[in-house]
Amino acid sequence: MSGVGHRLSQHLHGELAGLLVLNNHTEADHVIQCINSCEQKLDFHAINEMETGMVSCATNKLTAILVS
């Protein structure tokens, strides 16, 4: 992506889980290495909060979680 002034000149096509823009700052090298090498996954910590009859299903790589 490239900016012209303060305007975005290209568009994202696809899905984006999160975006963090650091104004006048560069992220630490170890953080960038983790972002590039670590697989994305979801954390689900609400098992104890589920009510009787509720079911949770997740993909093997924890990229999607369904609670019904």
Per 3-state DSSP, the chain is made up of helix, strand and coil in percentages (nearest 5) of 20, 15, 70
pTM, 2 dp: 0.38
Give dist(CA 24, CA 30) in Å, integer.
19
- What residue type is assigned to position 60 of the chain? N
Burial class of 32 by CB neighbour count within 10 A (0 to 12, 13 to 18, 19+): exposed
Residue 67 clears pLDDT 80, i.e. is over it = yes
Residues 9-65 pLDDT 10s:
666 677 766 667 788 888 888 888 887 787 777 778 888 888 899 988 888 877 788
